[in-house]
Chain A
Amino acid sequence: YQVFESVAKKYDVMNDSMTLGVHRVWKDILVHKMNPSPGTLLLDVAGGTGDIAFRFINYVSSVRERQLQRKLKHHQSLSWQEIFESYQKDKFNSVGDSQVVVCDINREMLKVGKQKAQRLGYSEGLSWVLGNAEELPFDNDKFDVYTIAFGIRNVTRIDLALQEAYRVLKPGGRFLCLEFSHVSNPLVSRLYDLYSFQVIPVLGEVIAGDWSSYQYLVESIRRFPPQEELKAMIEDAGFFKVDYENLNFGIVAIHSGFKL
């Protein structure tokens, strides 16, 4: 908990510098893989500063806009709500009935996220909830998609978090997990190790003034179960069609499972 409290304010800056901005691409890929349709209810756990939530909103808005345009082209009748929204073109298009709930155990991270949302102009379809991934404050069968991006590593009991994910998802719902994982390619692995242990804590000290947090970060990545093991854990929680996709040789992996 303390690690992220101290890290909260500089979180985004550190992410950019550590991954040289690539984390944005990873998160984009995650939302693309999700391919959410309008009306989707997303729960983003450990979503702190809202990266996934904002991308989700952008994606859904653009899909909705395309749908509306298609309806106009076919001269289909729009509902009054849609006509009203189309007159209201601000910077961002309307989200419709899609919603994202950002849940994080850390108040500081949520605070930073809310400020970011305000600054970037995201107002609709967002909620911020304080909660523990191992014991979510939500009812059963509520969400269409559950995502946890770079958060499951920090959960003490991963199996509990997976079980909670299973519980709050609707039947047919999807579990998506974006996390650092195991690199099997030996050359990449050596370079990656070098970078992780030599460069990252230094960056942590220079930018955030915190060597030990980032040392912890790198070590926790190494201790995290590799792809196949995590896949087995997800299956144990009851998910079906569990699969993973390696990004960047396995530096990062996206695991996906369905509650069927």
Chain B
Amino acid sequence: VRCQHYPPLRALQASAALRRASDEHKKEPLTSSSQQHFDSPPAGHQPEQEPQGPRPSYTGQGGQESEDYESEEQLQHRILTAALEFVPEHGWTAEAIAEGAKSLGLSVAAAGMFHSDGSDLILHFLSECNTKLSELLEKEQKLVQLGEAEKKPIDEFLRHAVEARLRMLIPYIEKWPQALSVLLLPRNIPSSLNLLTSMIDDIWHYAGDQSTDFNWYTRRAVLTGIYNTTELVMMQDSSPDFEDTWRFLENRVADAVAMSSTASQVQSTGEAVVQGLMGAAVTVSN
């Protein structure tokens, strides 16, 4: 029984031993290494040189024992990432999580750490996708700033961002309708809405939106609508490489842009009409 001087950050000795063993065999599957949380340093490459293990130690004073510390959240993260591999076969369920845990060398009972409807796995996947999208947009923004690429017009930018994000669903597209239905359960709505709004927010931020008035809300509402409808179209699209979906997206974005220009036209027409009426009133009164 170890002393517990650092209550919130406790080492997971068993998992540490397992990871040391798995590191020696370089067992990290390729799909999960590409989706690794971007905080952790590139792991599997030098297991021999770094006997302390790839993960950064989170315990402030814990230098005396081995540095293979890992918090519960990190372990859960690893299990969920490993579980994504099993989704095409088992769906977004606790079974997939159990298989993921097994692939990491843990008991299948570890899936009991998560909720039994598989929602934890779906939310994990969504947040990973959003992170990847942000990274992608960030990179492209840097290129524009460095002058190596041209700044896209707004409609093309939105199309590109939504398409990139939706393409991340393609490996899991068969089971995605199931995931959507789980996300609509009342218990999961707060978290799924949260992720959705933050993603839309991200896209607008990189699109250069700096509005501080009511436009902020309309823009986000419109883009959310576009995203959701395109996602639904994608679910039952069977054209090669989802051509139909991208065409649908193009039309919706064009609609939205047209709508905003129409709105401003209406506004200016309205102002013109009012001015005309005022002029007429003045003339009549004279």
Contacts and interface: CB of A to CB of B under 8 A. Distances in A.
Contact of A37 (B2, B15, B104, B111): B111
B72 A172 contact: no
Contacts of A256: 112
Given A40-B108, A145-B109, 18 more contacts: A35-B116, A37-B98, A39-B108, A67-B95, A145-B107, A171-B107, A172-B14, A172-B106, A172-B108, A172-B109, A173-B109, A235-B4, A238-B1, A240-B72, A258-B110, A258-B112, A260-B14, A260-B15
B15 to A, nearest CB: 6
A260 B75 CA distance: 9
A136 interface: no
A237 B1 CA distance: 6
B283 to A, nearest CB: 79
A171 B70 CA distance: 14
B165 to A, nearest CB: 28
Interface string A142-178: 0011000000000000000001000001111110000
A36 interface: yes
The 8 closest A-B pairs by CB, nearest first: A172-B106, A172-B110, A171-B14, A172-B107, A174-B109, A170-B107, A173-B107, A144-B107
A236 interface: yes
B72 A260 contact: yes
A88 to B, nearest CB: 24
Which of A39, A40, A144 is packed against the most chain B CB atoms within 10 Å?
Answer: A144
Given A37-B95, A37-B98, A260-B72, A171 B109 contact: no
A37 B108 contact: yes
Contact of B101 (A33, A163, A172): A172
Contacts, number: 74
Interface of B: 1-2, 4, 10, 12, 14-15, 17-18, 72, 75, 94-95, 98, 101, 104-113, 116
A171 B105 contact: yes
B65 to A, nearest CB: 14
Nearest to B116: A35
A174 B72 CA distance: 14
Interface residues of A, number: 27
Contact of B113 (A37, A237, A238, A258): A258
Contacts of A144: 107-109
- The secondary-structure label for the interface of chain B is helix
A238 B94 CA distance: 25
Nearest to B75: A260
Interface in A242-260: 256, 258-260
Which of B18, B101, B113, B116 is packed against the most chain A CB atoms within 10 Å?
Answer: B113
B1 A259 contact: no
B36 to A, nearest CB: 20
A36 B15 contact: no
Contacts of A170: 106-107, 109
A10 interface: no
A95 to B, nearest CB: 15
Interface of A: 33-37, 39-40, 67, 144-145, 163, 169-174, 235-238, 240-241, 256, 258-260
A241 B17 CA distance: 19
A10 to B, nearest CB: 33
B112 A259 contact: no
A13 B215 CA distance: 70
Contacts of A34: 109, 112
Contacts of A40: 108-109
A35 B111 contact: yes
A43 to B, nearest CB: 11
A169 B101 CA distance: 15
A256 B94 CA distance: 17
A85 B190 CA distance: 44
A169 B112 CA distance: 14
Nearest to B12: A260
A173 B72 CA distance: 14
Contacts of A67: 95
30 contacts: A35-B111, A35-B112, A36-B108, A36-B109, A37-B98, A37-B108, A40-B108, A144-B108, A144-B109, A163-B1, A170-B106, A170-B107, A171-B15, A171-B17, A171-B18, A171-B107, A172-B101, A172-B106, A172-B107, A172-B108, A173-B109, A174-B107, A174-B110, A235-B4, A236-B1, A238-B1, A240-B10, A258-B113, A260-B15, A260-B72
A189 to B, nearest CB: 31
A33 B109 CA distance: 11
Contacts of B2: 238
Nearest to A259: B14
Contacts of B111: 35, 37
A258 B1 CA distance: 15
A260 B18 CA distance: 10
A258 B101 CA distance: 13
Nearest to B115: A35
